[in-house]
Amino acid sequence: MVKRLIIAGLIIAAFLGGVAYFQLVFKPKMIAEFVGKMAPPPATITAEKAKLELWSDRVHSIGTVLAIEGVDVAPQVGGIVTAYFFDSGEDVQKGTKLVALDTSVEEAELASNKATLIEAKLDYERQVSLVTKGAVSQATLDTTIAKRDASIAAVQRVEAIIAQKNIAAPFAGRLGLRRVEKGQYVSPGQELVWLQALDPIWVDFPVPESEVDKFKVGSGVELTTDAFSGQVFKGEVQAFDARLNQDTRTLMVRGKLPNPERKLLPGMFANVAVLAGAPKEMVTVPRTAITYTLYGDSIWVVKKGDAPTSTTPTAEAKPGSAIAADAPATERKLTVERRFVRVGQTQINRVSILEGVKAGEDVVTSGQLKLQPGATVKIDNADALKPPAELPKQ
């Protein structure tokens, strides 16, 4: 009986040991081997080759467009508006008559003063004749001369007032909106209309103290505005301010740009870039290729593996992909490598890379969130990201 119990116990122990071995050793090992042999599908990305381009160093700033000559046309004397000779937004030449004020009182006074002047001149001629004959003294002649000169000054004064009431353009330019009507009384200094000279035009922009020595008078200036997206206006640096702003430690710089089409208007916001130095060869990549993080900027670079994955063409080397040009007949596995890079200047939709990527290498431009070092990928540029029509202000 005891022998039977021992044999039964051994059989049960062997059974339980086999079950435990299967559950705790053999089964986990088989699962691990199965999972290890399962490769995840390649992640779909877009890629583009890093390029070698000629770039000039640029000092970027934000400025304001200003008119070289700009005034608010206003009368020196008050009066009633009898006529205006312009339309809002009209281009005028220097000396063009703009507004006429009522001069009826001044014209009557001018006529009176001219009559007085004629009398003074006749009296002067008589006194000269009498002095020659010795009939009157020199003092009497001096008094007559003074009266004549006073009459001439009175005539000139009224003529000057009449001229001031006929308001003309002090320089050539474009008029703004008319702010005067016929019959309206205007006081001295009251604004009648803006007059702005638009060609050429200025742009004033601040530059940090550390970048002032990177360019000089005559350096090229490139300007873009929100009003004319994608259009670049070119000019040159004309002058530097005589002192820095002690609060911001910036120096105000003035650029001058031709504006033959009068597109740039005073007061416009402007993105300004000053060309500093000669062009240099730089490796550039699209903006979307760079991943910015607190611990460093990085780029995913596409690498070709050593072992072929199949003998039939796959999507990894389709004609539209970045690596299709040099792909062999037997396709190679594509993987990605993460590299930390040193980023340089930015121009429109591209960024220069000072260190970390070489020209000709394929960099991932979208799909970075799906990647990890060594992951297999396939390139499909059919739905590649397109640059936005308008970039954020720098």
Structure tokens at 127: 């006194």
Query: What is the structure's pLDDT at 38?
Result: 65
Q: Which top CATH class is 43-53+281-383?
A: mainly beta
Does the pLDDT at position 385 exceed 60? yes
Does the pLDDT at position 299 exceed 50? yes
Q: What is the mean pLDDT of the chain?
A: 81
Query: What is the structure's pLDDT at 382?
Result: 80
- DSSP secondary structure of 282-338: EEEEEGGGEEEETTEEEEEEEEEEEEEEESS--GGG-TTSSSGGG--SSEEEEEEEE
Query: What is the structure's pLDDT at 334?
Result: 86
- What integer is the mean pLDDT of 79-103? 88
Of 91, 150, 100, 93, which is closest to residue 121 (Cα–Cα)?
Answer: 150
Split at pLDDT 50, 70, 90, the class of 388 is low
pTM for this prediction: 0.61
Query: What is the structure's pLDDT at 392?
Result: 53
Domain boundaries, the chain: 43-53+281-383, 59-67+192-280, 79-99+167-190, 103-164
Structure tokens at 157: 């004064």
- What integer is the mean pLDDT of 50-70? 86
Does the pLDDT at position 39 exceed 70? no
Query: What is the structure's pLDDT at 329?
Result: 38
CATH superfamily label, 103-164? Helix hairpin bin (1.10.287.470)
Does the pLDDT at position 318 exceed 60? no
- What integer is the mean pLDDT of 195-221? 88
CATH number for region 59-67+192-280: 2.40.30.170
**Is there a common fold for 43-53+281-383 and 59-67+192-280?**
no
DSSP 8-state code for residue 238: E
